[in-house]
Structure 1
């Protein structure tokens, strides 16, 4: 009985994937628009805190002083951009807190801290 359900799900996903591809007709040329796109909100700035205590922003490893400069410059360019701090579970808590304080010092109204929502076993 479980194998029947599995095959039914596979067929369902294959059929829906095919329909999604058919919804985008390749021969249709969409009109050009000179205005702004609807999704004008910038992507969030991600600050990764490694377990060694260093910070990674835009794939570059930096220290806290450089992080503060990047945050200030970024806030001037994109004042409505959100900040997400992703601290490693084995990193010292103070490093993530320092990144949060750097966000406040730069002038960000808030910053989010990401965590894994999967239940531990």
Structure 2
């Protein structure tokens, strides 16, 4: 008596649905974990000052000056260090809103001229609410 085995004629198939699910979860994981801080690579050492911290203001325009005197406006890097390039980038990022508060964060080791240039550019464009970020004074 001959027993027929129907499994020999079936072609094996690869179910891709679990593989797609795993890849989708990995993509979502990498997207979420890589967008936490856009300026984490920029190390600033803020100057210290005494006083009470001011509550964070919503929609504040962030102007960063690193130790080399390079400018960053929100997430955009200013390619040149002259005042015209800084004013052009500030105008592009802020638009026509000159009542928007500005938070100027300059490294403690940056040249003083870079900070004065940033303040001058903000003043020429008509920004009046400029705050300078500092770190709390370290007590021995």
How high is the TM-score relative to the length of structure 2?
Answer: 0.50
Please report how far the alpha carbon of residue 70 of structure 1 lies from its aligned counterpart in structure 2 after TM superposition: 2.7
1:55 aligns with 2:64: no
- Cα 1:56–1:120 shift into 2, 3 Å: farther
For residue 44 of structure 1, the aligned residue among 55, 60, 68 is 60
- Structure 1 residue 66 displacement after superposition: 2.4
CA distance in 2: counterparts of 1:118 and 1:112, whole angstroms? 17
- Following TM superposition, by how much is the alpha carbon of 1:112 offset from its aligned partner in structure 2, in angstroms? 1.2
Between the aligned partners of 1:109 and 1:60, the Cα distance in structure 2 is: 22
Q: Tell which has more relative contact order, 1 or 2 (C-alpha 8 A, sep 6+).
A: 2
CA-CA distance at 1:94 after TM superposition: 1.1
Alignment partners' CA distance in 1, 2:120 and 2:132: 12
**Structure having the larger proportion of residues in helix:** 1
Match of 2:122 in 1: 103
Runs of at least 4 residues of structure 1 off by over 6 A?
none
Contact conserved, 1:47 with 1:85, CA < 8 A, in 2? yes
| Rg comparison, structure with higher value | 2
Superposition deviation, residue 79 in structure 1: 3.1
Alignment root-mean-square deviation, CA: 2.0
Unaligned runs of 5+ in 1: 1-40
1:46/1:61 Cα in 2 relative to 1: closer, same or farther (>3 Å)?
Answer: same
Tell me, yes or no, if structure 1 residue 69 matches structure 2 residue 85.
Answer: no
1:111 is displaced (CA, Å) by 1.2
User: 1:8 maps to what in 2?
Assistant: none
Give 1:97 deviation, angstroms: 1.1
Which segments of 5 or more consecutive residues in structure 2 lack a partner in the other structure? 1-56
How far 1:109 moved relative to its partner?
A: 1.9
